[in-house]
A = this chain, B = another copy of it.
């Protein structure tokens, strides 16, 4: 099952130590890890590298939600790629020419997977983003992105995304736990990976909670794909 751990340290703790402790405890149990811009700003490229260096998964995502012109986004990705991450998240809404075309090229040359946000689940996203959702999926295909972010709380959008994107583009879905979706919801709707943060990282025993989430994903997927058999 595809489980990605969002390593977002709470305020007021030593961010690097907090991440290291969880990454060491979980090891290769999840398929990947996701580190965010708050950690990068707080701990710098050096702290980011320290966390990446202990991660054993093949997928290490820098969730920067990049949303600038191609040249500026490329500068940032070049810098961040030195930390050892192998995937970055940017916004599809920036568009292609002079935006994501240049970023996609930079990512290809650095061996970095490009993942594009196509929809978000906070209520404000209904104002502009939802209306442009299909256009965003078209942009994902056009630039040949490796993956697309779609909220686990919106299974209909995941189904539409899978249909439009075909089978080659990975779908990554945050929103499991406190935000409302259950483990397995997004995978049942067509996602490849579920991104889980606090539900696991703030639990008393992150390893046993992660194993429970993976078990639950498996159970739900057997249910939705095989009618419970």
Residues A99 and B124 in contact, CB atoms below 8 Å apart:
yes
* Chain A positions 72-92 with a Cβ under 8 Å from a chain B Cβ: 72, 75-76, 78-80, 91-92
Give CA–CA (A36, B93) in the complex, Å. 20
Give CA–CA (A31, B42) in the complex, Å. 29
Residues B128 and A99 in contact, CB atoms below 8 Å apart:
no
Interface size of A by CB at 8 A reads: 48
A59 within 8 A of B: no
Residues A122 and B95 in contact, CB atoms below 8 Å apart:
yes
A199 within 8 A of B: no
Q: Which of A131-139, A159-167, A215-223 contacts B (4 or more CB under 8 A)?
A: A131-139
- A123 smallest CB distance to B (angstroms): 4
Residues A36 and B72 in contact, CB atoms below 8 Å apart:
yes
Give CA–CA (A129, B94) in the complex, Å. 7
Show 9 A/B contacts (Cβ-Cβ < 8 Å), sorted by A: A36-B72, A41-B76, A92-B128, A93-B129, A95-B126, A95-B128, A96-B127, A98-B122, A131-B132
The 5 closest A-B CB pairs, nearest first, are A95-B124, A98-B122, A44-B44, A97-B123, A99-B124
